Structure 1
Amino acid sequence: MKKIYLFILFLIINFGGLALGSYFMGDAITGEWYSNLNKAPWTPPGWVFGATWTLIMICFSAYLSYLFTIRNSKFVISIYTIAVVLNVSWNYLFFNQQLPNLAFINIIVLTLVIIYFFITFGDDRLTRLKYLLLPYIIWLCIATSLNGYVVFNN
């Protein structure tokens, strides 16, 4: 029963983070700055982002509900908080402030934090559950490449 409550809690926090990130993004995606960027040829259509983030946050919330049942510590909470802050702040840096270089550093650090979750907290009872992080890691690699393309080609 505790896992269900944690799952719901993490869904609320994670989707709340996505909503906050969208708020910080504002209408920048339809704005002049973003429209005029030289974007990567492999940039997916807009709807893919929403669908992907929905899947990622469901998987991440499921993983976290098990992790926090097994290893609920200040350290784990701190690492999770860093991940949420990095995820939300990327939208602010890239879209709102139009700082793709800082956003690039931000997303690299976020990717490393999620990989840290995969490696460090993927043992014992989380051996199979750590694979719920793969969609997040794969998407962050794609997003990092998109951000990097903007940095190096604009």
Structure 2
Amino acid sequence: PVLLENEANQLLTDIALQIPAEIALTRPNLNINQLLVEETINGQNALQLWEPNFPGDSTNIFNYNINSPREQNYKIIYRIASNSPAQISLNYNSKFFLTDIPNTSLDPNGVKGTYGSYTLIEGPIIRFSPGANIFSISSEINTFAIDSIIFSPVS
């Protein structure tokens, strides 16, 4: 299910949950609205991520706070549009999980949006602790738009 923004960070133990990428935690000196790509086909805004300008470029990092009801593994699935091969990084507990993104405009099953064709890209399996979990995403290679992140419980 897709939940309202005030409920969107509460994971479930037996059902996959999709959260909008646009609910990233705000940071000082960054207006997240400038980075949103309006995607009317998705019913929400997508977040544009770009390759860092220099190592440690913090303007490229977006944080999320997710609540897990218990310690559990979740398969991460991204809904992304990219007009060229790219790479997304997920950082959780000081571990980096890299996922390659193909040129999604070549996917015949992609959903055409403003930034390109959105498709589901399977990411890592992450073991979240009970309670609040903060993780971040960023682009490592090229620019792309991310519409949502799906957390699918793994037994």
TM range (shorter): under 0.3
Q: Which has the higher helix share?
A: 1
Instruction: Give TM-score scaled by structure 1 length.
Output: 0.24
Instruction: Give TM-score scaled by structure 2 length.
Output: 0.24
Q: Which has the higher strand share?
A: 2
State the structure with more CA Rg.
1
